Amino acid sequence: MKHGKPFVVVVLAALLAAAPLFLNAYQVDVLNSIGLYGLLALGLNLILGEAGLFNMGHAAFYAVGAYTAAILNTRYQIPILWTLPLSGLAAGLFALAVARPVVHLRGDYLLIVTIGVGEIVRIALVNDIFGMTGGANGIFGISRPQLFGIVIRRPQEFFYLIWGCVALTIVLFLRLKQSRFGRALNYLREDEVAAEGSGINTAYYKLAAFGLGAAWAGMAGTLFAAKMTIISPESFNFWESVVLFMIVILGGAGNIVGVLLAAFLVIGLPELFREFASARMLVFGLVMVVMMVFRPQGLLPARGGRFSPITLARGRG
């Protein structure tokens, strides 16, 4: 199994790269959606999977990025792809600002705080904060992205843009995982007290994970804004955060391949279940439970000894 891995990856990547050639527009667009959520989930994976910080408000950072891109594009005519670094920066800084006073909270308290941040952001957007977000209408008329002189509009073209970003992210995050930074995060997740005891600045690393994960969400937001050409607050509601949370945990928190695989399932299955019409979400819910029951560690659990990272610490308060 181990030695076959590079081969499998190459075949899968080649298959994926060729997908637009033999799939129709809808199927390619499903893959685009999966890619977008894959990007978002990989960002969340840094926070939730690698550092073990319960974040169920990731859509807030996604929204900050998307709105930054949309505002810069529609008001100042900055080409949408140029806003990528700016919206990443905006989302990252926003995350640092909100996470700083709360990052020390214990698991479930942090969970509700992040849910709260997500809701506050959504409500602020709906209420047209600073007079710039367009309220419930959102922002429309976002221009199509241009890359090397080609205007990207069809799903097939977006496919290469989005999955190019995913590939880049995978390479970057794999390196990050093996770096000192990545190891520090894992240490933090496994045993915060011990990590602190051995000289790791836990607050620094927690914030760094938040900032980086949020920056990724922000950049994914730019891609989303470019793809939809219209964004509105309902695209960033609590449900989006929940979906991302499910992707990361289902994938096996901390495992990049697992997270991508889970993005395929969580975003792909409801599409697959379209044949069930009104019952499609019923089947989807059932499948989620069944998958968790049969793969409690996630589809591909993060590597690491026999001791599971975040076991149910029952009875120890």
Which of these ranges, 86-94, 178-186, 201-209, 265-273, lies near other proteins under the rule CB under 8 A?
265-273
φ and ψ of 150, to 5 deg: -100, 130
Which of these ranges, 58-66, 72-80, 114-122, 156-164, lies near other proteins under the rule CB under 8 A?
114-122
Tell whether residue 44 is a contact of other proteins (CB under 8 A): no
Tell whether residue 21 is a contact of other proteins (CB under 8 A): no
Looking at 140, 164, 171, 183, which residue binds other proteins (CB under 8 A)?
140
Which of these ranges, 71-79, 135-143, 173-181, 215-223, lies near other proteins under the rule CB under 8 A?
135-143
- Within its chain, how far is the Cα of 24 from the centroid? 26
* Residue 213 to residue 259: CA distance in whole angstroms: 14
Looking at 95, 115, 152, 219, which residue binds other proteins (CB under 8 A)?
115
Residues 148-167 that bind other proteins (CB under 8 A): 153-155
Tell whether residue 29 is a contact of other proteins (CB under 8 A): yes
Q: Write a three-state SS string for 165-218.
A: HHHHHHHHHHHHHHCHHHHHHHHHHHCHHHHHHCCCCHHHHHHHHHHHHHHHHH
Tell whether residue 112 is a contact of other proteins (CB under 8 A): yes
Tell whether residue 190 is a contact of other proteins (CB under 8 A): no
Contacts of 132 (CB under 8 A, 6+ apart): 67, 71, 75
Looking at 120, 147, 168, 203, which residue binds other proteins (CB under 8 A)?
120
Strand bridging mode 230-231 / 146-147 = unpaired
